[in-house]
Structures are given as structure tokens and as C-alpha cells.
Amino acid sequence: MENQQITDDISTLLEKINPNLVLHALQEENEHSLAVFLLTLPPKHSATILSRMKSEQRNAIAREIAVTETVPVEEIKEIVERFKAKIEDAASRVTSFGDGAENLAKILAQMDNESRSAILKSFEEEKSEVAQRVKEKMYRFDDILLLTDASMETLLRILDRNILALALRGTSEEIQEKVFDNLSPDEILQIRAQMESNENISTRIITQAQQSIISAMRQLEYQGMIVMNRPTDVMSDE
């Protein structure tokens, strides 16, 4: 029970800190100890830590895990307690700001269009993984509500109506009204019929449809063809 409590404590800790910090804290540990430690964790935590390791170390630890079937209880206790202390010590020495891409996306959302577009354009030129993550987090499907009517019409001109019908499944009435206000009565009837059909559509397909529309919005804003009325913080002197 004591070992289980320590393992549970580590799992809770790992939910809150960056996996790279864990790797740094345990960088001097040997492959056997690391393998035993990963075997005591829920698979999702073990997978996250293992995937962040350098390939040579990752492969060696994977092989160690594959051949480790029994370990003395006292050895497990010693490894887990030692690792827990190291991780807690490392965590106490830093401040975690969470997902950097998400933080930047939140800041960009509060900036004026010109400044935001300039930053996103510089990311577009870099074509890096971080740049892609920032752009993905900058946009959500309900950002449709931020479009002006003219921008909504521009977006709708390039959207496939079948994709649109899929994307609108399960969305709020507010989002649906925003779209329908810029469609003809015949198009509305057609899309509503597709939305309300009894055909079994998976969540994955709906998400893919929404992502395609998000990508279209992102590209159109980048090109200056649509305007999104994002809320901005108003700073005032007290």
C-alpha cells in the first residue's frame, strides 16, 4: 500500500510538470532503474517520458522493460522513492508556464490584427513544428462567431456544403444561426437535412470537417481576406 501511495503521488506530480523536467531530473539514472520506474507508472505517463528520450536510451530502456518480469519489492521501493525525491526537487526549482504554444496563442488573440498577422506571417515563413502548433491553437471552430457578415460570406464561398453540414453537427444554435444567416433558404434546407439525417457519423469525421474549416479560416485571415473581431483587453489607469 505504501509503494502504491508513492506511485500515486508521482502520477499526480507528473500531471502537473513538463516531461522534459522529469528527464532532466533522472538523467544520471541507469537503464534498469528507469525501466523499473516506468513499469510502476500508468502507461500514459511511461509513454510520455519514454517518447521524449534520445533514441539510443529509449531503445535500451524499452528492451530492459521487455525482459523485466520480477523485481524485489525493496528495490522497487528504493527506486520509486529516490526518483520521487529527485522529481520534486527539480520541480521546486522552476516555474512552469505550461504549453508555450498555447500561451502565445492566448497573447496573440489579444493583439491587434496587424501585429498578430505580422507574427503569424513570420511563423509561416519558418514552417516549424512550434509555429504550426501556435497557429492550430489560435483558432477554434466557434471562432466562426467572430467573423463579420462579409467575412462569413467570403468563407462560405470556398466551403464544400457537405463538409459544412458535417462540421455543424452537434454545434450550438448560435453557430448554426451565424452560418445560416449567410446562406440561401434552399442551402439551409439542404444542410439541415444532412445534419438531421439518421446516418451514423463518427466524432472523428465531424472533427475532421471542423478542422478543414478552421484551416480555411486561418488561411483567409493570413491572406487578409477575412476579418475576425477578436476581443481585446482594454487597459486603463486606475
pLDDT at 231 over 70: no
Distance between CA atoms of 147 and 128, rounded to whole angstroms? 28
User: pLDDT at position 96, please?
Assistant: 72
- Cell readout for 40 is 510502476
Q: Which residues pair with 147 in a beta bridge?
A: 228
Q: Out of 20-34, 72-86, 95-109, 117-131, which region has the weakest mean confidence (pLDDT)?
A: 117-131
pLDDT digits (tens, 9 = 90+) for 175-191: 999 999 999 999 999 99
179-211 per-residue burial string, b: 16 or more CB within 10 A, e: under 16 = bbebbeeebeeebeebbeeeeeeeeeebeebbe
pLDDT at 81 over 70: yes
pLDDT at 237 over 70: no
Domain with CATH 1.10.220.30 in the chain: 2-92, 139-222
- Cell readout for 169 is 453537427
Instruction: Return the axis-axis angle of helices 113-126 and 100-109, rounded to nearest 10°.
Output: 150
152 within 8 A of 179, measured Cβ to Cβ:
yes
Determine if the pTM surpasses 0.85.
no
pLDDT, the chain, mean: 84
pLDDT digits (tens, 9 = 90+) for 123-176: 766 666 777 777 777 788 999 999 998 999 999 999 999 999 999 998 999 999
User: pLDDT at position 196, please?
Assistant: 86
CATH 1.10.3210.10 fits 139-222, yes or no: no
Return the sign of the alpha-carbon dihedral for residues 175, 166, 214, 51.
positive
Between residues 51 and 126, which one has the greater pLDDT? Answer: 51
pLDDT at 16 over 80: no
User: pLDDT at position 4, please?
Assistant: 62
Q: What is the 3-state secondary structure (H, E, C) of the chain?
A: CHHHHHHHHHHHHHCCCCHHHHHHHCCCCCHHHHHHHHHHCCHHHHHHHHHHCCHHHHHHHHHHHHHCCCCCHHHHHHHHHHHHHHHHHHHHCCCCCCCHHHHHHHHHHCCCHHHHHHHHHHHHHHCCHHHHHHHHHHCCHHHHHHECHHHHHHHHHHCCHHHHHHHHCCCCHHHHHHHHCCCCHHHHHHHHHHHCCCCCCCHHHHHHHHHHHHHHHHHHHHCCCCCECCCCCCCCCC
Assigned CATH for 2-92: 1.10.220.30
Average pLDDT value for residue range 30-34: 94
